[in-house]
Chains A and B, each alone.
Chain A
């Protein structure tokens, strides 16, 4: 083939990519539509068609005709059940554009998958069954698309053949949609009457709808301008990786999230506020004078300043937010419910935040109606508007202003599952405005006066394991040695400070959070703080450990087998729990997560409390907390 004729075949420089999502429920014909787009744009190969014809006979729902839905339902389970259960990505291309389609299920229980598909899409094709019109699910799909920042919508009124290609039906549905979507902030809404099964107005104008003069679906997908102008936004460069091949080169590798920057421009590191100038913009293909949103480059600076993964470079005149508290929409994605106060790992851009927690759920949102409801926790597929606190200040923008720097994911510390996704709405100034009151007399001075090193000795274990007995002995011995101590007991705290709390997971987390904060205040006053709490979750024990300095938290695991605790049953609680009179009882119908590496591990079987208390005191000696005289 001559090179000249090839030039017409390969993509032109201006060919770009559009990523869109299709939303619709099982019966709306979503998979059929995608199959049809692929087929009519000649992107299905003959061997795939043959396979499809075979499958249509075996699993199909369209009688003797080819069932295009089977092209896109990939997993065995889906093909067997005729439903889509996960996000699938499809690809097709025309001379003008290449398309990536996120095909997601539309049921309420798959909100998580729809959000996933929408997160990288710039446009949504929302299917409506012409016979049914705008339904609750249409509202749900539109709301999620809007929340995830999609600004362009195509309303595909499908199965128009089944309403005799009726214009009135189409006009009514289009009108209904535009009316209800007015609050969702879409920039463009285009309604198109289609039949995915027969191809009307999918890739070519249909003769059956001569009253419709708008574009067919593919034409519109090819021509719509969805460039969200990310190059015009303020410059943001999240540093991904520090490139140091030798002592003479130190470059910051990353992808420009928004805006643009040129060699010589002044930049700041958002969090530290340090200044420098761009020295080089390095790429494998040569140095650039300027770089903009979407480019993966390596930037070197004129000055040696401390920058690492997670830092964001910006221009001094257009700074992102830096705060340790913010308000955000959070979509919960895990079977295990979100618990306010629990410590999670957050990833915001390239920043990995070791500890963040939801401090308050202002409300949760009914995805079908948009109504705000009160909530104490978020379960799978629920969306809440929450306050979030992170251990160290994070750099971000509002999601509405910048999708790349305003989004985050929530990861469970122990299972490492991605349990939530968030979109930041605004920073909370309360933390910023309440500066720490400098105290003239500090922990060290207070402790020195008492001739001791303060610490928290935290006893954890099942109910009836012997925590309080041993803690009490330790307290007596320390007191006898003239140490200044205090004993915080779970039961006692529940009579006062924590009397509003029950025994659900959320309340247990809050119980420990408060106990931890109180213990910390007492630690700061120079005391040896002895705490006795079942504290069943690793997460909360670690949260308390993180509150205080290195070596100030000593975890004592009072390890008594459950059978022995039941046998002892000093408070008669196991008997009640077993007969169902107490709910959420640790070890019976609520879990206990044993410490994997406690500072002191007390195996109580066959031991006297005095011996066990000695072990704890020995640990305090070896840690240099106390001195045996």
Chain B
């Protein structure tokens, strides 16, 4: 029998150990109290951390819930291959849901605009998928440090029928005593990494050697300049203006989403260590590259009320 004798011998700093234990406790509570949970897998770094935490929470059992990816069909190709590879590696059920009605209506981020695209292909799609499979609890990787309206989000976020979030009528959350009770038709969104910061996530990925999509690491990729952001030309669907020529630049992404809506940053950080080092001296927030948040000041709060994560 081989023991890890001293807890200090673990590589994680104390604050990350505490965050890890807290997240594991939340995930176990969900599995103990809900009938049919699901993990909403966005393929991003926060999802990767959640998956890693889930493995730890239920070990030696396998993760006792499926992953679900709401696919807008505009994700980076590397995200999709990473997604499928991850599900295979962990031997876990993966549900991929696409809003077919949106496809038929030819909703896309370029012509329809980011607001409509997000509404139909993400928010509506998510609601449809949760209803279709009858999931009563859905894990999400949102963190409170991401955005102002998220700072007041509960860890167990109650949604009334129709997946409505009412920020003025949230259940108070005290200690580690979560109120998991819901009635028929009501659901819960659960955010196990609520109290992590972006830096915590990156440090944890580095120290735990968690696989993430290679797009987070700098590499020469074809990009065009648009409205002050760098957009990667991931496939032939991105229409180019007559004088627009994709150029190869060393870039990487701090957050990932639909490729026409994700701004890249110029960077040489090609390894996880480089990324963490770059994080420590970053001068802009990660959401700056995310075009869907900047439509209007309170837009995230509005989207959340409508059922967006």
Q: Which residue of B lies closest to A101 (CB)?
A: B151
CA distance A426 to B115 in the complex (A): 55
Q: Is B171 a contact of A418 with CB atoms below 8 Å?
A: yes
A62-99 toward B: CB 8 Å interface, digit per residue (1/0)? Answer: 00000000001011110100000111111101000110
From the candidates A3, A74, A418, name the one contacting B179 in the complex (CB within 8 A). Answer: A418
Q: Which residue of A lies closest to B11 (CB)?
A: A13
Q: Is B195 a contact of A89 with CB atoms below 8 Å?
A: yes
CA distance A285 to B58 in the complex (A): 12
Shortest Cβ distance from A398 into chain B, in angstroms?
Answer: 15
Which positions 156-197 of chain B face chain A at CB distance < 8 Å? 167-168, 170-177, 179, 181-183, 194-195, 197
Give the residues in chain B near A51, CB-CB below 8 Å. Answer: 297
Q: Which residue of B lies closest to A310 (CB)?
A: B32
Q: Is A289 a contact of B3 with CB atoms below 8 Å?
A: yes
A293-308 toward B: CB 8 Å interface, digit per residue (1/0)? Answer: 0111010000000000
Shortest Cβ distance from B174 into chain A, in angstroms?
Answer: 4
**A458 within 8 Å of B by Cβ?**
no
Q: Is B14 a contact of A13 with CB atoms below 8 Å?
A: yes
Shortest Cβ distance from A85 into chain B, in angstroms?
Answer: 8
B1-20 toward A: CB 8 Å interface, digit per residue (1/0)? Answer: 11111011011111111111
From the candidates B14, B151, B280, name the one contacting A89 in the complex (CB within 8 A). Answer: B151
Shortest Cβ distance from A349 into chain B, in angstroms?
Answer: 8
CA distance A244 to B62 in the complex (A): 10
**B283 within 8 Å of A by Cβ?**
yes
B137-155 toward A: CB 8 Å interface, digit per residue (1/0)? Answer: 0000000110011111000
User: Does more than half of chain A's interface fall in helix, strand or loop, or is it mixed?
Assistant: mixed
Which positions 94-143 of chain B face chain A at CB distance < 8 Å? none
Q: Is B277 a contact of A294 with CB atoms below 8 Å?
A: no
Q: Is A45 a contact of B288 with CB atoms below 8 Å?
A: yes
Q: Is A255 a contact of B21 with CB atoms below 8 Å?
A: yes
Give the residues in chain B near A113, CB-CB below 8 Å. Answer: 172
Q: Is B175 a contact of A47 with CB atoms below 8 Å?
A: no
**A211 within 8 Å of B by Cβ?**
no
Shortest Cβ distance from B294 into chain A, in angstroms?
Answer: 9
Which positions 1-53 of chain B face chain A at CB distance < 8 Å? 1-5, 7-8, 10-21, 24-25, 28-29, 31-32
Of A403-411, A509-517, A562-570, the one with at least 4 CB within 8 A of chain B: A403-411
**A473 within 8 Å of B by Cβ?**
no
Of B66-74, B81-89, B198-206, the one with at least 4 CB within 8 A of chain A: B198-206
**B247 within 8 Å of A by Cβ?**
no
Of A4-12, A138-146, A578-586, the one with at least 4 CB within 8 A of chain B: A4-12
From the candidates B58, B151, B175, B284, name the one contacting A88 in the complex (CB within 8 A). Answer: B151
**B91 within 8 Å of A by Cβ?**
no
From the candidates A11, A112, A411, name the one contacting B13 in the complex (CB within 8 A). Answer: A11
CA distance A576 to B285 in the complex (A): 66
Q: Which residue of B lies closest to A257 (CB)?
A: B176
From the candidates A240, A245, A403, name the one contacting B175 in the complex (CB within 8 A). Answer: A403
Q: Is A255 a contact of B273 with CB atoms below 8 Å?
A: no
Give the residues in chain B near A309, CB-CB below 8 Å. Answer: 32
Shortest Cβ distance from A345 into chain B, in angstroms?
Answer: 7
Give the residues in chain B near A292, CB-CB below 8 Å. Answer: 7
CA distance A221 to B13 in the complex (A): 18
Q: Is B60 a contact of A245 with CB atoms below 8 Å?
A: yes
Give the residues in chain A near B303, CB-CB below 8 Å. Answer: none
Shortest Cβ distance from B31 into chain A, in angstroms?
Answer: 6
**B301 within 8 Å of A by Cβ?**
yes
**B298 within 8 Å of A by Cβ?**
yes
Q: Given A9-B277, A45-B282 in contact, is the A416-B21 Cβ separation under 8 Å?
A: no
Give the residues in chain A near B177, CB-CB below 8 Å. Answer: 347-349, 407-409, 421
Q: Given A17-B19, A240-B25, A409-B179 in contact, is the A333-B285 Cβ separation under 8 Å?
A: no
**B57 within 8 Å of A by Cβ?**
yes
Q: How large is the interface on A (under 10, 10 to 19, 20 to 34, 35 or more residues)?
A: 35 or more
Q: Is B24 a contact of A421 with CB atoms below 8 Å?
A: no
Q: Is B149 a contact of A75 with CB atoms below 8 Å?
A: yes
Give the residues in chain B near A403, CB-CB below 8 Å. Answer: 175
**A366 within 8 Å of B by Cβ?**
no
CA distance A97 to B301 in the complex (A): 30
**A376 within 8 Å of B by Cβ?**
no
Q: Is A75 a contact of B13 with CB atoms below 8 Å?
A: no
Q: Given A17-B18, A286-B3 in contact, is the A74-B273 Cβ separation under 8 Å?
A: no
CA distance A533 to B148 in the complex (A): 52
Shortest Cβ distance from A35 into chain B, in angstroms?
Answer: 12
Give the residues in chain B near A244, CB-CB below 8 Å. Answer: 61
Q: Given A6-B273, A91-B144 in contact, is the A15-B13 Cβ separation under 8 Å?
A: yes
From the candidates B171, B175, B282, B301, name the one contacting A119 in the complex (CB within 8 A). Answer: B175
Give the residues in chain A near B56, CB-CB below 8 Å. Answer: 283-285, 296
Give the residues in chain B near A17, CB-CB below 8 Å. Answer: 14-15, 18-19
**B274 within 8 Å of A by Cβ?**
yes
Give the residues in chain A near B5, CB-CB below 8 Å. Answer: 289-290
Tell me which of B16, B175, B288 has the highest count of chain A C-beta atoms within 10 A of its own C-beta. B175
Give the residues in chain B near A5, CB-CB below 8 Å. Answer: 277
Give the residues in chain A near B152, CB-CB below 8 Å. Answer: 74-75, 86-89
CA distance A14 to B8 in the complex (A): 9
Number of interface residues of B (CB under 8 A): 76
Shortest Cβ distance from B41 into chain A, in angstroms?
Answer: 19
CA distance A499 to B303 in the complex (A): 55
Give the residues in chain B near A85, CB-CB below 8 Å. Answer: 168
Q: Given A15-B13, A88-B152 in contact, is the A282-B203 Cβ separation under 8 Å?
A: no
Q: Is B28 a contact of A240 with CB atoms below 8 Å?
A: yes
Q: Given A16-B14, A17-B19, A289-B3 in contact, is the A93-B148 Cβ separation under 8 Å?
A: no
Give the residues in chain B near A436, CB-CB below 8 Å. Answer: none
Q: Is B29 a contact of A421 with CB atoms below 8 Å?
A: no
Shortest Cβ distance from B190 into chain A, in angstroms?
Answer: 15
CA distance A88 to B152 in the complex (A): 5
Q: Which residue of B lies closest to A2 (CB)?
A: B273
**A287 within 8 Å of B by Cβ?**
yes
**A241 within 8 Å of B by Cβ?**
yes
Q: Is A46 a contact of B197 with CB atoms below 8 Å?
A: no
From the candidates B55, B171, B195, B298, name the one contacting A76 in the complex (CB within 8 A). Answer: B298
Shortest Cβ distance from A64 into chain B, in angstroms?
Answer: 20
Give the residues in chain A near B199, CB-CB below 8 Å. Answer: 93
Q: Given A9-B276, A113-B172, A285-B10 in contact, is the A416-B183 Cβ separation under 8 Å?
A: yes
**A48 within 8 Å of B by Cβ?**
yes
Shortest Cβ distance from B274 into chain A, in angstroms?
Answer: 5
Q: Is A240 a contact of B29 with CB atoms below 8 Å?
A: yes
Q: Given A75-B149, A284-B55 in contact, is the A411-B179 Cβ separation under 8 Å?
A: yes
Which positions 200-234 of chain B face chain A at CB distance < 8 Å? 200, 203, 206-207
Give the residues in chain A near B21, CB-CB below 8 Å. Answer: 255, 294-296
**A137 within 8 Å of B by Cβ?**
no
Q: Given A15-B15, A16-B14 in contact, is the A421-B172 Cβ separation under 8 Å?
A: yes
**A388 within 8 Å of B by Cβ?**
no
From the candidates A47, A74, A255, name the one contacting B285 in the complex (CB within 8 A). Answer: A47
Q: Is A98 a contact of B15 with CB atoms below 8 Å?
A: yes
Give the residues in chain A near B207, CB-CB below 8 Å. Answer: 10
Q: Which residue of A lies closest to B56 (CB)?
A: A284
**A224 within 8 Å of B by Cβ?**
no
CA distance A6 to B282 in the complex (A): 15
Q: Is A241 a contact of B4 with CB atoms below 8 Å?
A: no
Known: A282-B59, A296-B21, A296-B25. 8 other contacts (CB 8 A): A9-B280, A241-B31, A253-B28, A253-B58, A255-B24, A294-B21, A349-B177, A418-B174
Chain A to chain B: the 6 pairs with minimum beta-carbon distance, closest first: A245-B61, A17-B15, A74-B148, A296-B24, A119-B174, A45-B285
Interface of A with B (CB < 8 Å)?
1, 3, 5-6, 9-17, 45-48, 51, 55, 72, 74-77, 79, 85-91, 93, 97-98, 100, 112-113, 115-116, 119-120, 240-241, 243-245, 249, 251, 253-255, 263, 282-292, 294-296, 298, 309, 333, 345, 347-350, 403-404, 407-409, 411, 416-418, 421
| 9 pairs, A vs B, C-beta closer than 8 Å | A10-B203, A11-B16, A17-B15, A45-B282, A74-B148, A98-B200, A120-B174, A290-B5, A411-B181
